[in-house]
Structure 1
């Protein structure tokens, strides 16, 4: 197969491959960039593999950086752009089911490609557009099939994360997993417990944000992979409920995790504990904790001015996207009009602050001050008070007397 017109991302890198070839070595674009070129999908980065050893690459190019030289990876700096180039290699001894104990550099493209995960990722591309397909990956692309290169059990013992990558690709591409590969995942699913949660998290998030997440989730559940993910071991029924949802339009990770929390029935501190198990960031946890109650308000048709104020516009938008999955959605323009109609959208917009209340409102620092500020904010948001300095000061003094 010849690709007559390569995407623009390859253009500046072609001279790099040409220079390696002129020095007497082989060089190819490999992996996902080749797959996505054939599928017509967006390409985010390119990978280069070569028969040249790291020392030989460094002799060909004046400017290089050793980014992973023990694994054969050298970055070539060319006209201000860095291109990571990796020597053909074989691997052996996967004691941690993730990284090889030994890497051996080889001159054979076939030896290099046969260690890769799936046939659709074991394609190589010459700089002139010729596709090298040694494992029938092109056929599998046409069939929309995810199939392990060689023996699935061997591939998953080499890197157990590949099982999550399989279900993630099922979601991302809308492909089916080959029966033998699916059986291999089911048999080796317990190995996922050997993999760092952070790595599983990345694949799970990509699965939830794919083109066909139901396809990926179905395999994720059927193979038992979910049993080895934080907080999901006993949640087969809840997860299976996601398979009947059709209107998947999740746009970011906070929406994805909010949906999972809604589906599992998690609230408040439960959300924090669950997401910490997944090693997500504190910022994401904070945002999801805002989104989930908003989804509940949308479900119950009780979305109030305080809900909108406390959540903030980003969380409101995210909540409405999650609600769309379940049919609890509110019209986007209606919800935006409701938010824009808020008298204030942040406590910083309140006409008084703590210092003002201390100086002019005759309040003392302490818990009472915080309670009064909170009451004033709530009253303004709900339209019970105008956001006027004198009005708020007078109300503050009254509240202080009542609460004092």
Structure 2
């Protein structure tokens, strides 16, 4: 097979490929970028594999960075672009089920491709558009099948995260997992417990954001991968129930974890430790905690107050509303946006007075009382009970102090 028109990303990287081949070595575009090009999807990273050893690549190109030279990867800098160029290699045993104990550089493309995870990711692309397919990846791509390269038991023992990648690809690509590959995942699901939770976290989020979320999630449960994830040991029914919800796509990580919090009946006291188990970022924990009570109000068809809109912020409101829609609740997003825009202020910095104004106008000393007064003014303005005018706010502050 031959690509008659290379995607722009490949065309821009062609000088790197051609320079390597002109020096007498083989060089190919490989991996997910080739798969995505064939599927007509957006290409994110262009990876290049070559028969040239790292030291040889460094001789060929003037500007390079040793990004992972011990594993054969050198970054080649070309104008404003950077391309990772990795030497063909074979790998030893994987005692930690993630990284090889050591790698051996080889000159054979076949030896390099046969260590890759799935056949659809084991395709190589020549500079002229010719596809090199040594493991029936094109057939699996056409049939929309995710199949391990060679023996799936070996592939998952080499890198247990590949099992999560399988269910993630099932969701993202809308493919199905080959029977033998799925059987191997179920047989070795315990190995996922050897993998850093941060890596599992990333794969799981991608699964949940995929177009085929329900299929990927079903396989995640059926293969028992979920048993190796924090807070999921007895959560199979709750996770499976997600597949009965509206198939509306989720847009970002907050919506994923908010949905899970709802399914697992978490509240603000339990959602934080749950997300910490998953090594979630503090910003994510804060946002999900902020969204959860709003989601519950949407589900209860409760009208939100101005203060709820103000505290939560538009972005988080939209996330809570998005998840509510999965349950047949929520409001029209355009009306939600309009309501938010009608708030007298969107943040405290928009208040027509600040601590300095009040200290001067009221002859106060810095302290807790000042903060309390500002908070009361803020709430009154947000609730539209008080005009956001300096004179009015100072007058109201004087009354609050006397009270």
Q: Which interval holds the TM-score relative to the shorter structure?
A: over 0.9
**Counterpart for residue 73 of structure 2:** 73
Query: Which secondary structure does the structure 2 equivalent of 1:74 belong to?
Result: strand
Distance across 1 between alignment mates of 2:279 and 2:245: 27
Equivalent residue of 1:246, what SS?
A: coil
Residue 363 of structure 1 deviates from its aligned partner by 4.7
User: Which residue does the alignment assign to 1:243?
Assistant: 243
Partner Cα separation in structure 1 for residue 13 and residue 88 of structure 2: 18
Classify 1:400/1:74 alpha carbon distance in 2 versus 1 (closer, same or farther; 3 Å). Answer: same
Gaps of 5+ in 2: none
Q: Equivalent residues in 2 for 1:93-132 (5 A)?
A: 93-132=93-132
Is residue 393 from structure 1 mapped to residue 394 from structure 2 by the alignment? Answer: yes
Compute the TM-score of the two structures, normalised by the length of structure 2: 0.95
Determine whether 1:314 maps to 2:278: no
Is the CA contact (8 Å cut-off) linking 2:209 and 2:250 kept in structure 1? Answer: yes
Please name the residue that 2:255 is paired with: 255
CA distance in 2, matches of 1:384, 1:65: 61
Partner in structure 1 of residue 201 of structure 2: 201
- How far did residue 140 of structure 1 move? 0.7
1:210-240: CA deviations, max 9, x gaps? 1211111111111111111122222112111
Give the match's secondary structure for 2:20: helix
Map 1:5-404 to 2 at 5 A. 5-302=5-302, 303-402=304-403
- Alpha carbons of 1:378 and 1:78: their partners in 2 closer, same or farther (altered >3 Å)? closer
How many residues of Structure 1 are paired with residues of Structure 2 in the alignment? 402
For 1:268, what is the secondary structure of its paired residue?
A: coil
In 1, Cα distance between the equivalents of 2:358 and 2:270?
36
Shift of 1:198: 1.1
What 5-or-longer segments of structure 1 have no aligned partner? Answer: none
8 A Cα contact 2:210 2:249, kept in partner? no
SS in 2 for 1:269: coil
Report the TM-score when normalising by structure 1: 0.95
Cα offset, 1:116, TM superposition:
0.4
Contact kept, 8 Å, 1:361 with 1:394, in 2: the verdict is: no
Would the alpha carbon gap of residues 237 and 401 (structure 1) be closer, same or farther in structure 2, given more than 3 Å must change?
Answer: farther
Point out the more displaced range, 87-96 or 238-247: 238-247
Farther off after superposition, 86-95 or 230-239: 230-239
For 1:318 and 1:170, locate their aligned partners in 2 and report how far apart those are by CA, in whole Å.
25
CA-atom RMSD in angstroms: 1.6
Once residues 169 and 112 of structure 2 are traced to their aligned partners in structure 1, the CA distance between those partners, rounded to angstroms, is 22
Q: Distance in 2 between matches of 1:33 and 1:164?
A: 19
Query: How far, CA to CA, are the matches of 2:18 and 2:385 in structure 1?
Result: 73
- Give 1:364 shift: 4.6
Indicate the SS of the match to 1:90.
Answer: strand
CA distance in 1, matches of 2:59, 2:388: 71
Shift of 1:394: 3.1
Partner secondary structure for residue 65 of structure 1: strand
In structure 2, the CA distance between the partners of 1:351 and 1:81, relative to structure 1 (3 Å rule), is: closer
Specify whether residues 349 and 77 from structure 1 end up closer, same or farther in structure 2 by C-alpha distance, changes over 3 A only. Answer: closer
User: Contact 2:171/2:210 (CA < 8 Å) preserved in 1?
Assistant: yes
Q: C-alpha displacement at 1:271, in angstroms?
A: 2.1
